[in-house]
Amino acid sequence: MDNIAGTKSGLTWAVHLSVIFLVLLWLFPTIGLFVSSFRTADQISATGWWKALFPTEQNLVVRAAEPSAQVLRDGVYMIEGNVFEDFSVGVIAHWGVSSREISAYQPGETAELRDGSSVTLEADGSYRVESAEEMSGSRGQRIFVTATTPPEFTLGNYEFMLFDPQNSEGMTKAFFSTLTVTIPATIIPILIAAFAAYALAWMEFPGRALLIACVVGLLVVPLQLALIPLLKFHNAIGIGKGYLGVWLAHTGFGLPLAIYLLRNYMVGLPRDIIENAKVDGATDFQIFVKIILPLSFPALASFAIFQFLWTWNDLLVAMVFLIDSSGRTTVMTRQIVEMLGTRGGDWEILATAAFISMAVPIVVFFALQRYLVRGLLAGSVK
């Protein structure tokens, strides 16, 4: 009775659970990146992102206001303020005035300092430094606070990347030039590959099998091999570094996979339709445009997704063939790398940049994803 169509097997739950588990596993790093993109650099280096979601007990070092802020009241010099001015409001567990004894005092108690002044800290974070003599120096007294603070997030990283005058112009420019690179670099290889794939799939000519073998062989050649010779060639024929060069390079590097994928899909189309069309007097070009292209749409769309994602995320090819030292052309990936700083320590920018640059590929993916699954099976099922 178990195998009657329509009833659910007990294993379904196991399947669902393992799917959920796998999805979470895959999403885990992305969630971490996402949470980090809302944290400051100091928060990221102090605690892991998983701790950012809950109230945590933190040890903070706070400086009281500078001695120049002191006021004379009843013959006593006083500085007042609140330690939570720079941090989100929390609850103080204990505190101290020396790095050696950071939890020497309870809230409400008064600490005597070596120079004769005293510090009082209340549970709400307000402090008072008192001294009989005038206080000097340029830095305020350090107060070590152990406090439980609620989660704290900031939009500052996104603001810095998108709206900071120093970056916004560069980001906009990079965004448009990335589109200028990716759109032709996606369309050109599809155009060429579709023609080639049709010829390799349906036109009889000597050496066809050998050509197909060559294309498959090109799939395994790493593109790094071609960087310097190709750039030399571009310089020699006068293209130099620029959009035309990077389009040609992306086209060349994308073609083997495109031809291979499309040819395998087209070979799987029913022979009868094509033969009928031939009998009715259609030329090869008519067959290609009227029959093959519409039928191959899933394969074309799925290759378009691949090629778009790869050119969008590309840094290497753009660096070699596009970006010259005049600084007039750039791409998003490179703009982001520049923002990471000379020594690359700005993790918060990296996390934020990842989400900003992801936006366009996600839109493209969702627009075309229904073709992706069909296209992925391209050529594998007859």
The residues that touch other proteins, with contacts defined as CB under 8 A, are: 40-42, 45-46, 59-61, 63, 86, 98-100, 102, 138-139, 142, 144-146, 166, 169, 172-173, 176, 227-228, 231-232, 235, 240-241, 319-320, 323-327, 334, 337-345
Minimum CB separation of residue 249 from other proteins in Å reads 13
Alpha carbons 304 and 372: distance in angstroms, whole number: 10
Rounded-to-integer distance, Cα 92 and Cα 108, Å: 10
Return the number of the residue (217 or 240) whose C-beta is nearest other proteins.
240
Q: Minimum distance between the CB of residue 318 and other proteins, rounded to whole angstroms?
A: 11
Is the CB of 316 or the CB of 373 nearer to other proteins?
A: 316
Q: What are phi and psi of 66, to 5 degrees?
A: -65, 155
Residue 341 structure tokens: 């700083």
Note whether 200 and 213 are within 8 A (CB). Answer: no
The smaller minimum CB distance to other proteins, of residues 228 and 273, is found at 228
**Residue 85 C-beta: closest distance to other proteins, Å:** 12
Give 332: exposed, middle or buried? Use CB within 10 Å, 0-12, 13-18, 19+.
Answer: buried
Using CA atoms, how far residue 172 sits from 46, 47, 85, 161, 356, in Å, is 33, 33, 35, 10, 12
Comparison of 41 and 221: residue with beta carbon closer to other proteins: 41
Alpha carbon distance, N-terminus to C-terminus of the chain: 33
Smallest separation (angstroms) from other proteins to the CB of 116: 16
Retrieve residue 3's tokens: 């195998």
CB of 324 to other proteins, least distance (A): 6
Which CB, 319 or 376, lies closer to other proteins?
A: 319
Q: CB of 205: closest distance to other proteins in angstroms? A: 37
Residue with Cβ nearer other proteins (37 or 296)? 37
Q: Which is nearer to other proteins, 3 or 224 (CB)?
A: 224
Is the CB of 13 or the CB of 176 nearer to other proteins?
176
Between helices 227-236 and 243-267, what is the axis angle to 10°? 120
In the structure encoding, which two tokens stand for residue 231, read together?
Answer: 């750039």
Q: Could you tell me which residues come within 8 angstroms of residue 279 by beta carbon, excluding any fewer than 6 positions away?
A: none
CA 271 vs CA 201, 204, 288, 289, 295: distances in Å = 11, 14, 13, 16, 13
Q: Does residue 296 contact residue 265 with C-beta atoms inside 8 Å?
A: yes
- Residue number with CB closer to other proteins (270 or 341): 341
Instruction: Say if residue 263 is exposed, middle or buried (CB neighbours under 10 Å; 0-12, 13-18, 19+).
Output: buried
Tell me the closest approach of the beta carbon of residue 118 to other proteins, in angstroms. 17
- Letter string b/e over residues 292-313, b meaning 16 or more CB atoms within 10 A of that residue's CB: beeebebbbbbbbbbbbbbbbe
**Least CB distance to other proteins at residue 63 (A):** 8
* Shortest distance in whole angstroms from residue 71 CB to other proteins: 23
